[in-house]
Structure 1
């Protein structure tokens, strides 16, 4: 299934009202699918000017940037929606990793959602992106930035983002031929320190991947956040990263009337061997047959990384 198909399956937009955040020129929910409002921090004209040099956004083969309905540069999502809230769903593709305080952000989304409304997230898997060298974010990372009510990326988040960014070929990682990707540019540590210091001194906006996850680490972190009662959601579903892909899909459902413990207890489970650790190197020919035979002797099954992405 494509990301769009998964989004449609998660939110069922026909006859419902929803919001898609930051769709740019590739919305997952189309106008003809249902009553959807597109939200961004800039107006349509501003976005066209910002991306004028980006061939994938503004170019002869690019889809047009959608007309933005809700401009969020000087108002919250709740203020932008006004009496149209509450809505039935929110879709956010490659957004959560840019948010300095994901806990606060999810509470903002909960505030404009109906009970049982859903948030559909597309999340990059750090194993197959330029975040390859970064350690997965922890519950403590998210709680700390939430307590600090972070509105901007912190010096810590900026340093880790700039210092670890790597030149990653996802296909090579999946094939097992890339396990030590090169830095994207020289002098990353020095640049990272300078950028972190600048933001600390000037308190300016800096676009960074503030948090990073694998499918398993996402479940571990957000299960604890749910259990702590910090967000009124349950993790209703996770579709882990498929072979040769770079992202996974999470559906959160608003369940504010239930206890945090009950919501946390329903968190899905994934096998870390397939959805947290690096993928196994595919084996072929005699080596493959030997590997499968050994696996059968050891586990009683030939099921391994090639058998699918679900744990």
Structure 2
């Protein structure tokens, strides 16, 4: 029986939020929204207006080039406002979608609090999150609960010196297909003098408060569950993890559905957290097994075993 192909990001989002007859928000859709206006009532939010985004991405052909899909018209310009403030009387909404957004947020706990304030009880937040094992974050250490708590207690409103240093210093030139195939485990730096640039950027942020975009936090599917189970148990967010789809073969992201469940106790919500096998969803993947030998190769291998006296396993290993 032929198995169905895996769902893409848009199909995952549609399955998670069920937009028909509901109202939702997608954050940062640019020109590739996961939820389209034809799917249901959707509001697009970004930190800049549509005109400002056209200027910002003027040199990005995938966003504003002649062959690119048009930018979505931004309904909610955040720019210093929380989502709840931008929504005003339209809140609460039924769902929120954020693809490759949360890793750019300096204070994910505070950001998730804003998302929760914008959602009705039982509303869902659908996240697409890059898996650090398969992106330019390959060399970085997964973020810890302490990392997120520290930036939350510091009321971090912009990328911290530590976050920008790690982002700049560890960025690697990763070959996604090679890593899944069991190779490419020592990716080269993305550019020269990364440590020097990292220190320079960290000093700039520390001394002037300049905003520099970065992946502020990084995760594997297992590390994400570990961190967020603890944050939920600490009652730092009124969510439970309703579902997680770990990174599929030859892909670089995983998907998480958070459900607002403020009525339940933190212990109950934390206990509902799914569990994954670290060997598959935290460690680097094992290379795929070799294809089975055809009959000619089997005969040749058997003859070699008879002639050399080696076992089949030894012959396979040593040739």
How high is the TM-score relative to the length of structure 2? 0.89
Partner of 1:41: 47
Q: Distance in 2 between matches of 1:191 and 1:46?
A: 28
Output one character per residue of 1:240-277: Cα deviation in whole Å (capped at 9) or x when no partner: 00000000000000000110000000100111111000
Q: 1:189 aligns with which of 190, 195, 209?
A: 195
Shift of 1:80: 1.1
1: distance between equivalents of 2:261 and 2:81? 26
Cα distance in 2 for partners of 1:149, 1:10 equals: 31
Give the equivalent residue in structure 1 for 2:301: none
Which residue, 222, 225, 243 being the options, matches 1:237? Answer: 243
Alignment-derived partner of residue 265 in structure 2: 259
Structure 1 runs not aligned, ≥5 long:
288-311
Aligned to 1:293: none
- Residue 281 of structure 1: CA displacement? 1.3
Task: Name the residue aligned to 2:151.
Answer: 145
Question: Which structure 2 residues correspond to residues 48-63 of structure 1 after superposition, within 5 A?
Answer: 48-63=54-69
Which of 162, 168, 171 matches 1:162?
168
Using the TM superposition, give the Cα deviation of residue 53 of structure 1 relative to its aligned residue in structure 2, in angstroms. 0.9
- Range with bigger deviation, 175-184 or 69-78: 69-78
Aligned-pair distance for 1:190? 0.7
Point out the structure with max Rg over C-alpha.
Answer: 2
Q: What is the CA distance between 1:213 and its match in structure 2?
A: 0.2
| 2:273 alignment partner, SS class | coil
Between Structure 1 and Structure 2, how many residues are aligned? 287
SS for the counterpart of 1:236 is: strand
1:81 and 2:94 correspond: no
- 1 CA distance for matches of 2:132 and 2:208? 29
Aligned-residue RMSD, C-alpha: 0.9
Matched, 1:208 2:181: no
After superposition, give the CA deviation of every residue in 1:109-151 in whole Å (9 maximum; x if it has no partner): 1001000000000000000000000000000000000111100
Distance 2:99 2:120 in 1: 20
Gaps of 5+ in 2: 1-6, 294-319
Q: How does 1:83-162 map to 2 (within 5 A)?
A: 83-162=89-168
Given the superposition, is the C-alpha separation of residues 286 and 83 from structure 1 closer, same or farther in structure 2, using an over 3 Å criterion? closer
Q: Normalised by the size of structure 1, how large is the TM-score? A: 0.91
